[in-house]
Amino acid sequence: MPDIKKIVSEQIKKLKPDIESINELNKRSKDFIAKLEKEISKAKVNADVFVGGSFAKGTLLKSDNYDVDIFVRFDKKYENLSDRLERFLNAVCMNLNLDVERVHGSRDYFIIRDKKMFGYFEVIPVNKISSPKDEKNVTDLTYFHGPYVKKRINGFEDQVRVAKKFMKAQEVYGAETYVKGFSGYTVELLIIKYKSFVKMLKELLKVTSEKRLVIDIEKKYKNSNEVFIQLNEAKIHSPVILIDPTYKERNALAALSHDTFVKFQDSARAFLKSPSSNFFEKKDIDFNKLREKNKDNFISIQIQTDKQAGDIAGTKLKKFFELVVREVKKDFILNDSYFRYSGGNIGEGYLIAKPKKELVRIGPPLHMKKAILSFKNKHANTFERNKHIHARMNIDFNLREFLDSWKSGSKTLMEQMHITDFKIT
């Protein structure tokens, strides 16, 4: 069996950015920030600019397309932060010949692309708050996260990179609604807690549906029971409760869903049992092979939305896919399903399901004589249960036929859900 330490060590070598790239990113970031600060100063607006995210904390993954998070921290007296920031960015980018894209979210932010740079800036407006409890948006807390992590992560940056790469490959990385997984900040906190990627995997595998895990790095609470008493119920549904060391009222892993966590645990268990570098690469799914193996029980689907690319589009597409799964499960036994959103306006996935041996349809109550007669005329095999007429029905259609029929009757629903195309193959 391959040595797990050797595999992790090999990943570390692959994932660390080279010094030339870091120096170039530093230079371009400083130049851009200097121009932005000049525009802010000209307008006599009280705002600070700082670099955040993994670049600032030294946990950046090697990439062909680096992203640098730049935060503009406005005095709390200002409103409409995104509109105000956009005016400054338009002036800077016009001067530097850069492209600006506004991205809608809980608070709009901006992507700045430089054709000369092997990456892009994400510029995020935040409120200048003196205490985390004054936050108006979760991004306001970033100012406190950076210094906390940077002070404690020294020496463990490589472990963070390996953990992030593993989670990205297993599609459990990201707090976006269509992922409901681990954010970069939570990965950093977990490594601060456990000191190594492998130890983190082993400890998180101990979590069960009956025994959730509470992690309180800074001992903000006396014990786990106090956490469950003090925190709002909406914040403690996740399988792991990670108390934000900079803000005790916040569960940093509140976005983590049980489904995503189980997926993570399955991958972690498989990796520890049979270590391989393949766990750090996204799976290349062979749709044709799956179709050949499962015949009429397999369909692949492609869904398109008119919503903005990113969290909004990904969430819309995932929500529609989950609706399709629920509809299929009414008449079929679902063996497997998979959905992937990789950006843009399109998501893709597949379902493997075989028809149930028979369906039972519930008809009208027994006292409705005319309705009962009509129901019996439509269905040959009927019986009475719980004061209603029921019918047993055989399924004489396959998965493709079922979804073609469902699609043709769901055009209004698709419009309401902002789905512009639904291809079934």
Q: Give me the CATH number covering residue 364.
A: 3.30.70
261 belongs to a structural domain: yes
Instruction: Read off the pLDDT of each residue in 384-407 and give the average, rounded to a whole number.
Output: 89
Q: Is residue 62 part of a domain?
A: yes
Taking CA atoms, 82 is separated from 103, 354, 363, in Å, by 10, 49, 55
Q: How many CA atoms lie within 13 A of 373 on its CB side?
A: 2
Within this chain, do residues 48 and 76 fall inside the same structural domain, yes or no? yes
What was the pLDDT predicted at 1? 53
SS3 348: strand
Confidence band for 48, pLDDT divided at 50, 70 and 90:
very high
CA distances to 8, 193, 264 from 242, rounded to whole Å, are 25, 10, 16
Q: Are residues 123 and 159 located together in one domain of the fold?
A: no
Closest CA to 120 of 23, 30, 49, 25: 25
The answer on pLDDT for 235 being more than 90 is: no
pLDDT tens column, 70-81: 999 999 999 999
Instruction: Tell which of 68, 96, 129 closes a domain.
Output: 129
Number of domains comprising the chain? 4
> Is-contact 82 72, C-beta < 8 A?
no
Type of residue found at 121: F
Mean pLDDT of 334-353: 94
The sign of the dihedral angle between the CA atoms of 241, 244, 249, 255 is: negative
252 and 319 together in one domain: no
Domain boundary among 96, 129, 162: 129
Integer Cα distance of 320 and 414 in angstroms = 8
Q: Is the dihedral of CA 120, 126, 129, 132 positive or negative?
A: negative
Give me the domain span that covers residue 376.
359-393
- For residue 174, pLDDT over 60 is answered with yes
pTM of the model: 0.88
Is pLDDT at 96 greater than 80 in this prediction? yes
Residue 169 lies in a domain: yes
